Structure 1
Amino acid sequence: MSVANTLLSAVPGSPSAGIRLLARLGFAAIGVVYLLMGALALMVATGLRLAAQADKEEAVQHLQTVPGGRLLLGLIAVGLLGYIVWRFTQAIRDTEGKGSDAKGVGTRLWYVCSGLFYSGLALYAGRLALQGYADKGGSTSQSLTAKVLAWPGGNWLVLLAGVVIIGVGLYQGYRAFSGQLRNDVDGSSLTSAQQRLVYRAAQIGITARGAVVAIIGYFVVQAGRQSRAGAVGSTDEAFDLLAAMGPLALGVVALGFVAYGLYSLVQAKYPILRGL
């Protein structure tokens, strides 16, 4: 909480106003990252780029090549950290009113996991901004999988984790078309046509993201079936698989990532932040 307090102390106004600002910075940072990922993958699909490396670190690293790149990287790092603070606030203060029953606690734990998901990228972007270089390091997921596989029955645990990840990806598709997304953007300042456009972008983007998550889950399932940690893959390997399926498959998902990036930028400008 000391990091959160340090950030909030630098923001004028009430703590809630500070958290709102951090959340909006977080949405904007995520929007930029997904726009870059989608653009890189789209370049591969159209033959403008040979390798399908379009993971989050690769996307952020490309910001070094633009004027003011280090400043942009610093803003990305701060924004992602702000997103983490907001997600922890949702979980701890229960701003969404989920309650303390099993379902509510599970949802609030999901908020924490959603925030921590971007912690590595925030650190990577921060190091690039301050030092001009940063080591991606090894595959944390593969290292963790190798440790779990060494446990008695570890292959079954890994297989189960893969099934859960596939379920999360499929749930993203359900969430995209269940009407839940209508509560994520304040459309009071938008026309009806603009609201529909934002909603469609959200549906397309979250479905594409869910498809990539499901593919990553498939990799984890294969790691459990084969008792081989090397079978685990990330977004980069998911794009490789889509590229092997053909430029159309990769292009559709790449456009989905671009749509999600644009949606996140709209969410940064017109957020709905309950309980703050």
Structure 2
Amino acid sequence: MANNKSSQARSGKSGDAWETAARGGYFVSGVLHIFLGFIVAKIGFGSGGEADQSTALSSIGDAPLGNVILWISAMAFIALGAWQLADVFHRGQEAKDRAKAAGKAVLYGALAFTTISIAMGSGGSDGDEQSEGFASSLMSAPAGRFLVGAVGLGIIAGAVYHVHKGWTKKFLQDLAATGGRELSKAVRTLGTVGYIAKGAALGVVGVLFTYAAITADPDKAKGLDGAVETLLGAPGGPILVVLVGIGFAAYGLYSFARARYARM
């Protein structure tokens, strides 16, 4: 029964309310990445701040009609997460595509939960605190260090995938059309820069998780904010951080194009 519904959702109902809302999820993701990029770039310029999704969402909430925007954003994330979940049960999907869809469903579901929490005034947990708590929980389980290490290696694999997808421009396969040569060139540039920058940041997060496993210290596991701090301490760190911030903003702009032209 679930398969039939999923098939119907993919068979010629383009433009319906669910698809429109799901595309809205890509648009909201774009706004979120632009805010994140601005925050990361500010850190690179020495202005301080926390580079995590909760901070970016809180910034959106502080804008005029911010709470309304947050609720609309949460609904868009829920719609996109549900769309990805339906892909898990869609007939004809390969196992790897089902796995990717399941991962995206979890990601957008988590974003929806965080957005709703902030809209309700309960705030969101600091990204590094979430990472440390997650690593600590895993570390206390049997073979915990290996589990944390596996998570770290998985994140690194995801980082490599992002860089590869950006460098080879495979992200263009996600788009049904790009509306003309000029727009195609802009989308190609934004997607390339955005995916590579996200991959670089994810790679640092993966290394930090792996280091936490090697040292048996869950406090070494960090999220994006910790990755930015690590980059900041490297040679030429401020420049690297600013470039990552620009990359996140580029990914956000690419997400606007994806909201319009994504293959759904």
Deviation at residue 16 of structure 1 after TM alignment: 7.5
Deviation at residue 112 of structure 1 after TM alignment: 1.1
Instruction: Report what 2:85 is aligned to.
Output: 88
Query: How many angstroms apart in 2 are the aligned matches of 1:18 and 1:114?
Result: 20
Query: How many angstroms apart in 2 are the aligned matches of 1:226 and 1:27?
Result: 38
Tell whether the 8 Å contact from 1:19 to 1:85 is kept in structure 2 after alignment: no
Q: Which amino acid aligns with 2:187?
A: V
Deviations 1:63-118 (A, max 9, x none): 12211111111121111112211111222115xx43xxxxx323312211122123
- 1:117 alignment partner, SS class: helix
Percent identity, aligned pairs only? 23
Moved segments of 4+, more than 6 Å = none
CA separation of 1:45/1:148 partners in 2, compared to 1, >3 Å: closer, same or farther? closer
Q: Which amino acid aligns with 1:251?
A: V
In structure 2, stretches of 5+ residues that fail to align are 6-11
CA separation of 1:90/1:16 partners in 2, compared to 1, >3 Å: closer, same or farther? farther
Instruction: Report what 1:39 is aligned to.
Output: 38
Tell whether the 8 Å contact from 2:52 to 2:126 is kept in structure 1 after alignment: no
Q: Which amino acid aligns with 2:55?
A: E
Query: How many angstroms apart in 2 are the aligned matches of 1:56 and 1:105?
Result: 30
Instruction: Report what 1:256 is aligned to.
Output: 247
Tell whether the 8 Å contact from 2:54 to 2:126 is kept in structure 1 after alignment: no
Aligned positions of 1:126-137 closer than 5 A: 126-129=116-119, 131-136=120-125
CA separation of 1:159/1:17 partners in 2, compared to 1, >3 Å: closer, same or farther? same
Match of 2:153 among 163, 175, 181: 163
Tell whether the 8 Å contact from 1:22 to 1:85 is kept in structure 2 after alignment: no
Aligned positions of 1:116-155 closer than 5 A: 116-129=106-119, 131-136=120-125, 139-155=129-145
Instruction: Report what 1:63 is aligned to.
Output: 60
Query: How many angstroms apart in 2 are the aligned matches of 1:252 and 1:184?
Result: 25
Deviations 1:37-75 (A, max 9, x none): 00111122223x223x12111000011221111111112
Q: Report the TM-score when normalising by structure 1.
A: 0.83
Deviation at residue 188 of structure 1 after TM alignment: 4.9
- 2:51 alignment partner, SS class: coil
Q: Which moved more, 1:17-26 or 1:246-255?
A: 17-26
Query: How many angstroms apart in 1 are the aligned matches of 2:14 and 2:189?
Result: 33
Deviation at residue 134 of structure 1 after TM alignment: 2.4
Query: How many angstroms apart in 2 are the aligned matches of 1:50 and 1:137?
Result: 15
Instruction: Report what 2:173 is aligned to.
Output: 183
In structure 1, stretches of 5+ residues that fail to align are 6-12, 99-103
Query: How many angstroms apart in 1 are the aligned matches of 2:201 and 2:45?
Result: 19
Tell whether the 8 Å contact from 1:38 to 1:255 is kept in structure 2 after alignment: yes
Deviation at residue 135 of structure 1 after TM alignment: 4.5
Query: How many angstroms apart in 2 are the aligned matches of 1:126 and 1:188?
Result: 33
Q: Which amino acid aligns with 2:198?
A: R
Deviation at residue 177 of structure 1 after TM alignment: 2.4
Match of 1:202 among 191, 197, 200: 191
Q: Which amino acid aligns with 1:65?
A: D
Q: Does 1:238 align with 2:237?
A: no
Instruction: Report what 2:102 is aligned to.
Output: 112
Query: How many angstroms apart in 1 are the aligned matches of 2:21 and 2:197?
Result: 26
Q: Does 1:271 align with 2:262?
A: yes
Deviation at residue 15 of structure 1 after TM alignment: 9.0
Query: How many angstroms apart in 1 are the aligned matches of 2:261 and 2:150?
Result: 38
Superposed CA RMSD in Å reads: 2.3
